[in-house]
Amino acid sequence: MLPATAAALAVLAALLAWPVPALLGRARWPRRDPLVALVCWQAIGLAGGLSIIGALLVHGLAPWGHSLPEAGWAVLRGHPAVDPVRGDHWVTLTLAAVLAAELLGVLALSWARTARTRRRHRELLELVVRPSPAAPDARLLEHPAPVAFCIPGARPLLVLSSGMVAELDDDQLAAVVAHERAHLAEHHHLYLLPFVAWEAALPVLPAAARAHAAVRELVEMRADDRALASLRGPDPRRTLAQAIVVAAGGAGGGVPSGALSVAGGALGARVLRLVDPPAPLPAAARAAALLCAGLLLLVPTVLLLLPAL
Amino acid sequence: MASLGDLERTVMDVLWAADGPVAAAELRDALADRELALTTVHTVLSRLEAKGFVEHDEARPRRFRPRATREQHAAELMHEVLGASADRQAVLARFVGGVDPEEARLLRALLDGTAPGAAR
């Protein structure tokens, strides 16, 4: 029997399902160091999945052995259970299988769907875009709305609309391109993928939506930071902030407002962070946050692998 | 050596510029400077047809025409990009998501409120 281990994992899962994401989502420090905060979110997502599936597995497999590896091995070898197998063991085993299959299935599905949409976009783009004079790796799309975006993947595409080029000056345009390049260079779409899956798999869990929104915001802030490092000019922070405001102000025309669901609050935080930068996180705080993220992954792993308490 | 994507774009440019449906042999002649084999032109055309960019009629020889104008394709793409809601941000990373006019005004006020000199 492994009651203590299963209980500990269940407590951890409950903490990661609500209070921990709520705390991190409300905290002020992530905007001071988006990269460290992104690492913490990834750890929360992974540890959450590990602990909830682990808790169910550990309880369900308890009759077969004194630790998860031992019990799992006994089941695989077809050994009979040491203790009597009750109904609740079967229920938790089924739940573990369903949850694991759903999470992995949704992850695979959203990967495939995203890849298909990207391929379609790329096919369309390759026909209608021209090389951009603004940047060698950017393409120009004839359209009045000021839009810039990139399509990640093996052959990434960075696209500027002619409306964007018309409304921004050269420095601002360079800032936009640097921001999108940062997304591509750091593969930010991969940071988002697990949270897209979590949200799709568990739409009833408010923390999933909260985590997804927080990660999206942090990825943008991280791209802003990386863009600033490569920009020249007297005041790159202000240049980038101006580009954001221009792009946000002009995109309203001709678009149904129902489709525009991106929170202006997040955009405001991005602009504010650029024009009035918060102090960077002290090295000790950074180390502490990273240590917490590491422990978050270590605790469920150890609980799963060690013999029962 | 031109890539297939490059050839596709060139063929589409010819089709878009043409007055009506164009046969493969006419396309080859229009792109004479590229010295394409007729089979290459057919390959490019069938790829474009599979992607839904061109269609052919039943005349002999078959003649091809674009299914939509360049502007329509650009508009279709922009419609998806501009409508990219939160869950679609995973498909492409857009510089700034759409905001309503009131939020845009607030952002502008935020930026003006921290004009250089006012801050620091």
- Each domain of chain A, given as residue ranges in start order, spans 1-85+279-309, 130-251+264-278
The shortest CB-CB distance from A150 to any of B93, B108, B111 is to B93
- pLDDT, tens digit, for every residue of A160-172? 989 889 999 999 9
Residue A34 contacts residue A225 (beta carbons within 8 Å):
yes
Q: Which amino acid is at A57?
A: L
The pair phi, psi for residue B103, each rounded to 5°, is -65, -40
B8/A150 Cβ within 8 A: no
List chain B domain ranges: 4-66, 70-113
pLDDT for A34-61, tens place per residue?
A: 999 999 999 999 999 999 999 999 999 9
Q: How confident is the model at residue B120 (pLDDT cuts 50, 70, 90)?
A: very low
Give CA–CA dist A37/A31, Å, rounded: 8
**Quick one: pLDDT band at residue B116, thresholds 50, 70, 90?**
low
Residue A293 burial (C-beta neighbours within 10 Å; 0-12, 13-18, 19+): buried
Q: Respond yes or no on whether ipTM tops 0.85.
A: no
CATH architecture of B4-66: Orthogonal Bundle (1.10)
A161 touches chain B (CB under 8 A): yes
pLDDT tens string B22-38: 999 999 999 888 888 99
User: What pLDDT is attached to residue A114?
Assistant: 86
Q: A242, A260, A270, A274: best mutation site toward chain B, by most B Cβ within 10 Å?
A: A260
Higher pLDDT, A259 or A9: A9
Q: What is the pLDDT of residue A262?
A: 32
Name the residue of chain A whose CA is nearest to B86's CA. Answer: A262
Q: Nearest CA of chain B to the CA of A51: how many Å?
A: 26
Rounded to a whole number, what is the distance in Å from the CA of B60 to chain A's nearest CA?
Answer: 27
* Inter-CA distances, A138 with A135, A160, A176, Å: 5, 7, 11
Question: Which has more pLDDT, A135 or B40?
Answer: B40
In this complex, the residue of B87, B95, B111 whose CB is nearest that of residue A271 is B111
A252 or B84, higher pLDDT: B84
Question: CA angle at residue A28 from A25 to A32, to 5 degrees?
Answer: 115
Is the Cβ of A226 closer than 8 Å to some Cβ of chain B? no
SS3 B20: coil
Cis peptide bond upstream of B61, omega within 30: yes
> Which of A110, A143, A260 minimises the CB distance to B99?
A260
- d(Cα A32, Cα A216) in Å, to the nearest integer? 15
Longest C-alpha distance within chain A, in Å? 74
CA A50 – CA A13 distance, rounded (Å)? 8
Against a cut of 0.90, is the pTM above it?
no
- The per-residue pLDDT for A48 is 93
What are the pLDDT digits (tens) for A191-236? 988 888 888 888 888 888 889 989 999 999 999 999 999 998 889 9
Minimal Cα distance from A194: which residue of B?
B90
Cβ neighbors of A260 (< 8 A, separation 6 or more) are A251, A252, B97, B98, B99, B100
What is the spatial order of strands in the sheet that A157-161 belongs to? A130-131, A138-141, A157-161, A148-151, B93-94
Quote the CA–CA distance of A216 and A202 in Å, as a whole number.
Answer: 18
Q: How far apart are CA A114 and CA B89, in angstroms?
A: 10
List of chain A residues whose C-beta atoms are within 8 Å of the C-beta of residue B104: 245, 248-249, 252, 264
Q: Quick check: B18 pLDDT over 70?
A: yes
Are B66 and B27 within 8 A, CB to CB? no
Neighbours of A134 (CB within 10 A): 16
Burial of A95 (0-12, 13-18, 19+ CB in 10 A): middle
Contact B12, B53 (CB under 8 A): yes
